[in-house]
């Protein structure tokens, strides 16, 4: 049988065992959500070896996956430890829609259980040496998004299928919002650093001052920019509105300058 990508989670459940001890559950599904595997144990039993034994059973019942995707920071290391003897790669990603859909369904009607809630880290400032010279909110027509990175000599490009406008059936003239950073001499270093932390989503935050926050990795947050200009704030509000219209699809682009000739990095995001 052909291999596939699994999505997995290991977390505490609201139930207890016969002795009142909290139960933890390993939940696995395939990329379609049609196949599921669950095993429970008391917290004292949970270890990398226990996870490995359950993964081995899942492989025997189904077939070895090409990789396992994990969205919860607290369970990543245990699942990675359990998967290592089986030669299965474990990838950290927030995009596990089938698994999250199952967890959401299971949580309905259960008071006080929020299985999708992840404790977010406080936003951190960008390293001083990587701060760009300028930046601006921008937009591309959905039909033009792929032309921004396809067949262009851009050193760093990330454009997963689930973030492609055409894959979501967006109208070709719908504005897809984005953020463009002009990094000057630090442009390539900034692009490489961004790639290393794994950009997930950008959000305009209304506050004092206003700002743009980058969600990255599994729970990291970075302050991309702060400002008090009302015109920029208005552009930020439009950015958020366009994100809703584009089903969360947006982009981040790093360029040396505003000439539009060279791009150091381009990320198509959804979130």
Model confidence pLDDT, tens digit, residues 79-113: 999 999 999 999 999 999 999 999 999 999 898 89
Max mean pLDDT among 1-10, 123-132, 139-148 falls in: 139-148
> What is the structure's pLDDT at 193?
96
Mean pLDDT, residues 19-48 taken together:
94
Express each pLDDT in 195-211 by its tens digit.
999 999 999 998 888 99
Break the chain into its structural domains and give their ranges. Answer: 5-107, 124-270
Whole-prediction pTM: 0.85
**How much is the mean pLDDT over the chain?**
94
Band of residue 261 on the pLDDT scale cut at 50, 70, 90 = confident
> What is the structure's pLDDT at 3?
62
Mean pLDDT, residues 155-163 taken together:
95
- Is residue 220 scored above 70 in pLDDT? yes
Which among 145, 142, 100, 98 is positioned nearest to 118, based on CA atoms?
100
> What is the structure's pLDDT at 1?
41
- Report domain 5-107's class: alpha beta
- Is residue 223 scored above 50 in pLDDT? yes
Express each pLDDT in 165-178 by its tens digit.
998 999 999 999 99
- Is residue 120 scored above 90 in pLDDT? no
Query: Which one is predicted more confidently, 17 or 1?
Result: 17
Band of residue 271 on the pLDDT scale cut at 50, 70, 90 = confident
- Is residue 160 scored above 50 in pLDDT? yes
- Is residue 15 scored above 50 in pLDDT? yes
- Is residue 260 scored above 80 in pLDDT? no
């Amino acid at each position: 049988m052909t291999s596939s990508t699994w999505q997995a989670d290991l977390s505490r459940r609201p139930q207890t065992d016969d002795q009142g001890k909290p139960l933890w559950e390993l939940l696995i599904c395939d990329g379609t959500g049609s196949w599921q595997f669950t095993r429970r144990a008391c917290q004292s039993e949970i270890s990398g070896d226990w996870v490995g034994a359950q993964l081995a059973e899942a492989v025997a019942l189904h077939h070895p996956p090409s990789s396992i995707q994990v969205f919860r920071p607290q369970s990543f290391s245990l699942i990675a430890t359990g998967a290592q003897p089986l030669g299965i790669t474990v990838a950290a990603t927030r995009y596990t829609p089938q698994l999250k859909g199952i967890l959401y369904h299971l949580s309905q009607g259960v008071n006080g259980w929020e299985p999708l809630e992840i404790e977010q880290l406080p936003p951190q400032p960008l390293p001083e040496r990587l701060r760009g010279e300028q930046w601006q909110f921008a937009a591309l027509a959905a039909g033009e998004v792929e032309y921004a990175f396809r067949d262009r000599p851009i050193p760093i490009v990330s454009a997963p299928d689930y973030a492609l406008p055409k894959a979501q059936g967006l109208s070709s003239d719908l504005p897809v919002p984005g953020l463009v950073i002009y990094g000057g001499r630090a442009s390539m270093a900034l692009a490489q650093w961004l790639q290393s932390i794994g950009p997930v989503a950008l959000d305009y935050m209304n506050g004092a001052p206003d700002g743009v926050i980058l969600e990255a990795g599994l729970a990291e947050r970075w302050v991309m920019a702060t400002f008090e200009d009302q015109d920029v704030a208005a552009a930020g509000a439009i950015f958020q509105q366009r994100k809703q219209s584009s089903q969360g699809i947006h982009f981040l682009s790093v360029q040396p300058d505003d000439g539009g000739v060279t791009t150091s990095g381009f990320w198509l995001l959804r979130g």
